[in-house]
Amino acid sequence: MVNPRLDPEEELRQMSQRRPPYYWESLNFPELMKEYPPPPDYFNTIYRMPRDQIRDLQEKRFKTQIDRAWDVPFYARRWKAAGLDKSDIRSIADITKIPAYTVSDIRDSIALQPPFGEFMGVSPEDGKRMPLVIQTSGGTTGLPRAMLYSPRDREIMAILGSRRLTMHGVRPGDLVQVTRAMGLPNGGFAVREALWKYTGAVPVMTGSGNITPTRRQIEIMQAWGVSILVGFPAYLRHMALFARDEMKIDPRSLGIRALDSNLGVEDRKTVEDLWGARCHDFYGAHETGMVAADCLYRNGMHIQEDAFIVEILDPQTGQPVPDGSKGNLCVTSLFKYSAPLIRYNISDVSCKMHGTCDCGSTLQRLERIFGRSDNMIKLRGVNVFPEAVGALVAAESRSTGEFICVVERVGAAGQDEMTVMVEAADNSVDRAKLQADLQVRFREALSVKLLVNIVSRGELDPLTGLSKNTKANRLLDKRKS
Ligand SMILES: [Zn+2]
């Protein structure tokens, strides 16, 4: 039996005298609201700011971030190794001198200084002087990557999130059902903080399907009068089909006004038709916060340029590409204190758009996310993204929209082949016909031959993990096993 030796006097002294850092004292809120205006001020200021003023604001914030980064061992180490010293980085014009980094550099940094990595720049010990919180990536393999957020990081992220949700139709008094995972992953909590603190809407945190089963999600939506849904596109589709086919409830009768989802290449129209509501896209990661979100016109995602510099880099050369060309998204944060972010190449493929949006915003737009360059499979010289396959499957009404891409090395020549397993919508579907039609469609749209295997509804769930995780696994690479 363990009988801890307690010193009641000492315990009482600590409890009654040691003052923790309180959240409400950790920030100058009125000042922060001016620096990073939440709605509605954002839409009257940054959103329509002349380009030269945006650039001036970015320059000022960029300098502060570079100074901060030099104090973080990860950057000091890498930049010195690249032959840079402090006088080399004076303005945004110097940004391409700075070596970009990827998630594998973050993993190396964690190995160098476990468990959080020397890129973090703060440690839990700093909790003695400022309130810290940990959330992680939504990673499904291995330990998730942790992020320690300072109060300022977290508060600005909540503001950036509230701008996105307001652009997507969230208004004060709305009930917003958030079906994103809760626990370590950042996704659910970030939305809750944004909604609760800066939109006047009421978050309804049902979480993913393994926290609140889909049937209960629909019942809550109906009984409480939810008007906005937040979730991954595959889960929004799954919910609508479940309501329609299992509960005999037309999802369009549920009064959902708008859907908020990180669409990637998923087909917007399919999910909009199912719910009878418009669907909005956004882009962000747990390291960055909310980078970009589309407006009512849904014609590209406006970059929050007071908070980020976004570059698109050629995957081969690492050099920035012109607007209109695809490449890897590379993000520089203009506000982060913990784990400052200078040229983080996220390996998500996107493209900056030409021209301006009809909404009148002066902010640059990203066209959409085309897939992950590290999820990309090269088949006979053609780059195939599982996400792009998914968009074609989702557009096929004879399927549930559920799929998984299986890659194998076959034959004596060791050629790579991709088989797309697709769920039929129901038993009445002519499987042979659907298989042939999809093979033709893939060949037309992706310029490469993929094999198709039609399976029964629900059969892919153990492979994709959809009903449990909401973020489905879409690639099974058997070449690695
Ligand atoms: Zn717009």
Distance 190 CA to ligand 1 centre (A): 23
H-run or E-run covering 292: strand 289-294
Amino acid present at 182:
M
Lowest mean pLDDT among 2-6, 370-374, 448-452, 474-478: 2-6
- Tell whether the model's pLDDT for residue 36 goes beyond 80: yes
* Preceding amide of 40 cis, omega within 30: yes
Locate 59 and state its tokens: 């320059």
* Mean pLDDT calculated for residue range 197-201: 98
Distance 369 CA to ligand 1 centre (A): 17
Q: Which of 370, 398, 430 is the last residue of a domain?
A: 370
The order of strands in the sheet holding 278-280 is 202-204, 175-178, 228-230, 258-260, 278-280
Local confidence band at 182 (pLDDT 50, 70, 90 cut-offs): confident
Residue 3 lies in a domain: no
pTM of the model: 0.85
Residue 8 lies in a domain: no
Distance 169 CA to ligand 1 centre (A): 13
* Mean pLDDT calculated for residue range 237-242: 94
Distance 325 CA to ligand 1 centre (A): 20
Distance 191 CA to ligand 1 centre (A): 21
Residue 126 lies in a domain: yes
Of how many residues is the chain composed? 481
* Mean pLDDT calculated for residue range 38-64: 98
* Mean pLDDT calculated for residue range 343-371: 94
Q: Are residues 249 and 308 in the same domain?
A: yes
Give Cβ neighbours of residue 371 (< 8 Å, ≥ 6 apart).
264, 265, 348, 349, 385, 386, 387, 388
Q: Which of 344, 370, 396 is the last residue of a domain?
A: 370
- Total tally of structural domains belonging to the chain: 2
- Tell whether the model's pLDDT for residue 272 goes beyond 80: yes
Distance 293 CA to ligand 1 centre (A): 9
- Tell whether the model's pLDDT for residue 21 goes beyond 80: yes
Question: Residue 407 is part of which domain span?
Answer: 377-480
Q: Are residues 186 and 282 in the same domain?
A: yes
Locate 425 and state its tokens: 């919508």
Distance 137 CA to ligand 1 centre (A): 29
Lowest mean pLDDT among 105-114, 155-164, 350-359, 467-476: 467-476
Distance 83 CA to ligand 1 centre (A): 41
Distance 360 CA to ligand 1 centre (A): 6
Q: Are residues 144 and 244 in the same domain?
A: yes
Distance 364 CA to ligand 1 centre (A): 9
Q: Are residues 350 and 332 in the same domain?
A: yes
Distance 142 CA to ligand 1 centre (A): 39
Residue 76 lies in a domain: yes
* Mean pLDDT calculated for residue range 264-284: 92
Contact 184, 286 (CB under 8 A): no
Distance 362 CA to ligand 1 centre (A): 9
Distance 373 CA to ligand 1 centre (A): 27
Long-range own/partner contacts, residues 267-273 (CB < 8 A, 24 or more apart): 267/391, 267/394, 267/395, 268/298, 269/395, 270/237, 270/394, 270/395, 270/401, 271/233, 271/236, 271/237, 271/240, 271/394
Distance 228 CA to ligand 1 centre (A): 20
Distance 374 CA to ligand 1 centre (A): 30
Q: Are residues 59 and 152 in the same domain?
A: yes
- Tell whether the model's pLDDT for residue 467 goes beyond 80: no
pLDDT at 139: 60
- Tell whether the model's pLDDT for residue 481 goes beyond 80: no
Distance 352 CA to ligand 1 centre (A): 14
Local confidence band at 465 (pLDDT 50, 70, 90 cut-offs): confident
Cα dihedral 212, 214, 215, 216, rounded to 10, equals: 20
Residue 2 lies in a domain: no
Residue 14 lies in a domain: no
Top pLDDT among 468 and 339 is at 339
Local confidence band at 379 (pLDDT 50, 70, 90 cut-offs): confident
* Mean pLDDT calculated for residue range 240-261: 97
Q: Are residues 342 and 258 in the same domain?
A: yes
Distance 302 CA to ligand 1 centre (A): 7
Distance 215 CA to ligand 1 centre (A): 36
- Tell whether the model's pLDDT for residue 316 goes beyond 90: no
The order of strands in the sheet holding 308-313 is 308-313, 326-333, 344-351, 371-372
Distance 44 CA to ligand 1 centre (A): 14
Interatomic CA distance for residues 151 and 161, integer angstroms = 15
Distance 363 CA to ligand 1 centre (A): 8
Distance 305 CA to ligand 1 centre (A): 14
pLDDT at 138: 72
Interatomic CA distance for residues 191 and 178, integer angstroms = 8
Interatomic CA distance for residues 128 and 429, integer angstroms = 62
Distance 342 CA to ligand 1 centre (A): 27
- Tell whether the model's pLDDT for residue 471 goes beyond 90: no
Q: Are residues 266 and 401 in the same domain?
A: no
Could you give the percent of the chain with pLDDT greater than 90?
78
Q: Are residues 419 and 355 in the same domain?
A: no
Distance 301 CA to ligand 1 centre (A): 7
- Tell whether the model's pLDDT for residue 407 goes beyond 80: yes
Distance 198 CA to ligand 1 centre (A): 21
Q: Are residues 335 and 355 in the same domain?
A: yes
* Mean pLDDT calculated for residue range 433-459: 93
409: domain CATH number?
A: 3.30.300.30
Q: Are residues 313 and 384 in the same domain?
A: no
* Mean pLDDT calculated for residue range 296-320: 95
Residues 94-143: pLDDT tens digits?
999 999 999 889 989 999 999 999 999 999 999 999 999 999 987 655 67
pLDDT at 134: 96
258: domain CATH number?
A: 3.40.50.12780
Distance 459 CA to ligand 1 centre (A): 40
pLDDT at 142: 64
Residues 358-376: pLDDT tens digits?
999 999 999 999 888 877 7
Residue 199 lies in a domain: yes
pLDDT at 416: 87
* Mean pLDDT calculated for residue range 468-473: 71
Residue 309 lies in a domain: yes
Interatomic CA distance for residues 381 and 140, integer angstroms = 29
Distance 463 CA to ligand 1 centre (A): 38
- Tell whether the model's pLDDT for residue 466 goes beyond 60: yes
Angle at 96 between CA 333 and CA 350, to 5 degrees: 60
**Helix or strand or coil: residue 175?**
strand
CA-wise closest residue to 188 among 231, 227, 131: 231
Distance 162 CA to ligand 1 centre (A): 16
Distance 353 CA to ligand 1 centre (A): 12
* Mean pLDDT calculated for residue range 191-197: 98
Interatomic CA distance for residues 479 and 481, integer angstroms = 6
Q: Cα separations (Å) of 414 from 377, 406, 419, 478? A: 15, 15, 15, 13
Top pLDDT among 447 and 157 is at 157
Neighbours of 379 (CB within 10 A): 17
Q: Are residues 383 and 366 in the same domain?
A: no
Q: Are residues 228 and 107 in the same domain?
A: yes
Distance 356 CA to ligand 1 centre (A): 8
- Considering the chain, what is the average pLDDT of its residues? 93
Local confidence band at 6 (pLDDT 50, 70, 90 cut-offs): confident
Q: Cα separations (Å) of 87 from 26, 72, 90, 321, 362? A: 32, 17, 6, 26, 32
Dihedral pair phi/psi, residue 37, rounded to 5°: -65, 130
pLDDT at 411: 81
pLDDT at 349: 93
Q: Which of 324, 348, 370 is the last residue of a domain?
A: 370
pLDDT at 203: 98
pLDDT at 319: 94
Top pLDDT among 140 and 327 is at 327
Distance 327 CA to ligand 1 centre (A): 22
- Tell whether the model's pLDDT for residue 423 goes beyond 70: yes
Distance 185 CA to ligand 1 centre (A): 29
Distance 42 CA to ligand 1 centre (A): 14
Lowest mean pLDDT among 160-174, 188-202, 367-381, 411-425: 367-381
Distance 349 CA to ligand 1 centre (A): 21
